[in-house]
Amino acid sequence: MIQIIINFLKGLAMGTANVIPGVSGGTIALISGVFERIINAIKNTFSLQSFKLFFGGKFKEWVAYTDFVFSLSLGIGVIAAIITIARLLEFLFAEYPVYVWAFFFGLVLASVWFVAKTIKRWNIIIVFFFIAGTIVALSMALLKPLGENNNMIYLFICGAVAACSMILPGISGSFVLVLMGNYELVMINSVNNADFKVLLPVIFGAGIGLLLFSYVLAWIFKKFRNQTIALLSGFMLGSLLIIWPWKEAVWKINALGEYVVSRSGEKVIEKYVWLMPHGESIKIAIAIGFILLGIVVIYVTETFALKSTEKK
């Protein structure tokens, strides 16, 4: 029961991260030690052996083979976070955006170090993958977001792409939705209003994307573990630009000089401008405090995880 609760809390943390543009649920999975287990659970659940066990009535073997209890407790945590945290984040981003970004900046900054140090041996190839991952994430940060689109096929594609991104450390599924123009439509408006006309194609696309991607990622992680971790560490490092606390949105303007508004009534973001820390000294100090708090949270989490592993 204790382990189920721990897995639920990890899912809660992953779901919370996935709601925030720029923060990756995969990062939380990696630093909490469940990343590879998630990939294998998804892969095994939709394998031929899984169907044989389930339809053959061997439910006990099926539960063990698919890691069902782990997946269920983690999944409930993810869903609970997406449903409940969406409203809280809507308020926090409106009132305290710099502090929220600062906290997650500290989380990801510390995560880069702790994840990268799990690489058993560094060489020129590993460094290349680390740099490549950094460049990819930085490039994503500089892309211009598209306009909102509620076409069912496009929503399906958004779900597939975002779901794959959500399990990749450093690549934020929510930020991918921002780039595809549908973040507010999917993660804020549709979740808060239970708009299943939008949510169902996204969910279906996410399921298909996760299934196909899990097989590829499981094989890559098994065959090229150090290279994969280096690439993912680079993703996380590059994503720091996306979640830099002191940035301002530049809104898209049409030929008439008017703000372009999405179907949900929100102004469409053209790009972000990154700034140096500015404003009142006390607010800068508080923001830096939240960065340090994020670093401390990761340090404590990693220290606790290390001690638990040593006891085993």
What DSSP string describes 34-52? -HHHHHHHHHHHTSHHHHH
The residues, any chain, with a CB within 8 Å of residue 211's CB and separated by 6 or more, are 42, 46
What's the predicted TM-score (pTM) here?
A: 0.65
Residue 267 has pLDDT above 70, yes or no: no
For residue 80, what pLDDT is reported? 87
CA-CA distance, 295 to 292, in Å (whole number)?
Answer: 5
For residue 89, what pLDDT is reported? 72
For residue 166, what pLDDT is reported? 66
| Largest interatomic CA distance in the chain | 66
- The pLDDT tens digits of the residues spanning 13-41 come to 888 777 765 566 776 777 777 877 888 88
For residue 172, what pLDDT is reported? 63
Residue 262 has pLDDT above 60, yes or no: no
- The pLDDT tens digits of the residues spanning 180-234 come to 767 767 766 676 677 788 888 888 888 888 777 777 877 887 788 889 889 878 8
**Between residues 310 and 237, the one the model is more confident about:** 237
Write out the residue range of the structural domain in which residue 102 sits.
2-311
Mean pLDDT, the chain, integer = 79
Q: How many domains does the chain have?
A: 1
- The pLDDT tens digits of the residues spanning 102-144 come to 988 887 788 788 778 878 888 999 999 999 989 988 887 776 6
- Tokens 């890559």, located at residue: 220
Residue 258 has pLDDT above 80, yes or no: no
- The pLDDT tens digits of the residues spanning 51-109 come to 999 888 899 999 999 999 999 999 899 888 877 876 777 678 778 888 988 988 887 78
| Helix orientation angle between 196-223 and 225-239, rounded to the nearest 10 degrees | 130
